[in-house]
Chain A
């Protein structure tokens, strides 16, 4: 299969901040690929390099067979980019925004309507509303339409779901899957670890570096330590007591349960005995398989 994106040892610094350090990554045509990492990981800088808005200090990146520096003019019509910050014209209406982006790329809304029908259909009742007056979820859908209207081969979405509620996020990912099924290559970044499972493959990023690249399942399997989910009535005291326990390596809140990693050959029985000794009530302990977030946290610690 052809590579849609090839990144070779790309680095970029701003003043004394190394935003991207020696990143290499290959994304195949037709993949839905996720860049997962917190603010400051370098995701946006990497995106800007790939969409020809920034030149790398070092290294080379090729998108759709075109070099992002040398061939930027040829490349731009072939890619769609939805920046993390709201990128539309707030004073233009929904329809005017879309029509503007279509015109800039020398096409019309009608010519590529098929591709956005699904998404734009939900916006059409509000097509005369100013974009600035839309709700967060609607703005995000309009921005996606504007990034798609020239029918790009590769779609770059920089944190499209940040600050968006859990319901709208789920809908957004359903849209991405439908676009991806039509053959569109999609590179999407997110700080939400729970969205990693939606991607074919993911790269975990932290402070400019890539910690791991694999399928979501593969990333979960990188986690090697014994892992337990623990719950008791008094969560706050439970965290403190578990962190002080001789068998504990790390202990973090994970929703209803705490996730506890321990030294090797520690059993649920050992933990239970310790907690009973500390007068904890309604103790529930079960060995579990690590999720993406567990792996990310372990990798962060390994990388100091």
Chain B
């Protein structure tokens, strides 16, 4: 079975609050999957369960075939993660960050060196390879953070609002990188508040109050709701009832 993510009635309760309520969906290997929802809809809780960081209350889920209850260490080996708040160490250099993360994932020394050279070359960071990450422009950091999240060749990478705050050209260069990674077979699981980015996904789900209220290709969703943009779909679906 070639599923990067597969869930069945996955649920998380905090006391009497149901953060994620019986969500059931699959993501195919190599797919770009947009995981949308209003603030507080339950996206972060769902992602934490999928990454093996939070035990579900009920239901089941596998990531690249590994069980989220029992095989969390295996899951961590096959996923990459990047959030808007950088996962990079500001007071390490570009090269040190790559080697640090590669080291954590147990890449051998020669492989580490090769990866570092490859990333630095691909991102054209040659002139700043030994500069502190703190000194880089935001857009460069974001692209580096993405490459670092892929340093151990994960099957699936989780991107949590990866493009917040960057300029429109950098935002698109970032999506170029996402397309390239997907084209090489990496599954992309991405959240965003930019509705134009929802259009770049193969399929999109929209969460409202802990449930998945719609899941389809952007084109099919727009057609189903009779609107011409994903923003239109989102405005109809995501209003929800939550006033937490």
Q: Which residues of A contact B (CB under 8 A)?
A: 37-41, 122, 125-126, 134-138, 162-170, 191-194, 206, 235-236, 239, 252-256, 293, 296-297, 300-301
Contact = CB atoms under 8 A, between A and B. Distances in A.
A38 B238 contact: no
B179 A236 contact: yes
A166 B167 contact: no
Interface stretch (B90-98, B105-113, B226-234): B226-234
B161 interface: yes
B193 A170 contact: no
A206 B238 contact: no
A293 B196 CA distance: 12
Contact of B230 (A39, A165, A255): A255
A153 B34 CA distance: 42
A37 B231 CA distance: 21
B37 interface: yes
A135 B242 CA distance: 9
A164 B193 contact: yes
A166 B164 contact: no
Nearest to B232: A166
Contact of A40 (B84, B138, B182): B138
Interface size for chain B: under 10, 10 to 19, 20 to 34, or 35 or more residues? 35 or more
Contacts of B239: 167
Contact of A163 (B41, B164, B234): B164
A138 B38 contact: no
B243 A166 contact: no
Contacts of A252: 168-169, 172
A296 B168 contact: yes
Q: Report the 8 A-B pairs with minimum CB-CB distance, sorted nearest first.
A: A38-B167, A39-B165, A255-B196, A136-B39, A255-B199, A165-B38, A135-B40, A135-B244
Interface in B173-199: 175-176, 179, 182-183, 193-196, 199
Contacts, number: 103
B37 A170 contact: no
A246 to B, nearest CB: 21
Contact of A300 (B38, B169, B179, B244): B169
Nearest to A126: B243
A163 B161 contact: yes
Given A38-B166, A135-B244, A293-B168, A163 B183 contact: no
Nearest to B200: A253
Given A40-B138, A254-B196, 16 more contacts: A38-B138, A38-B165, A41-B167, A122-B243, A126-B243, A138-B244, A163-B84, A167-B38, A167-B239, A168-B39, A191-B165, A193-B168, A235-B179, A236-B183, A252-B169, A256-B229
A235 B40 contact: no
Interface in B195-232: 195-196, 199-200, 218-219, 229-231
Contacts of B230: 255
Which of B170, B179, B230 has the most CB atoms of chain A within a 10 A radius of its CB?
A: B179
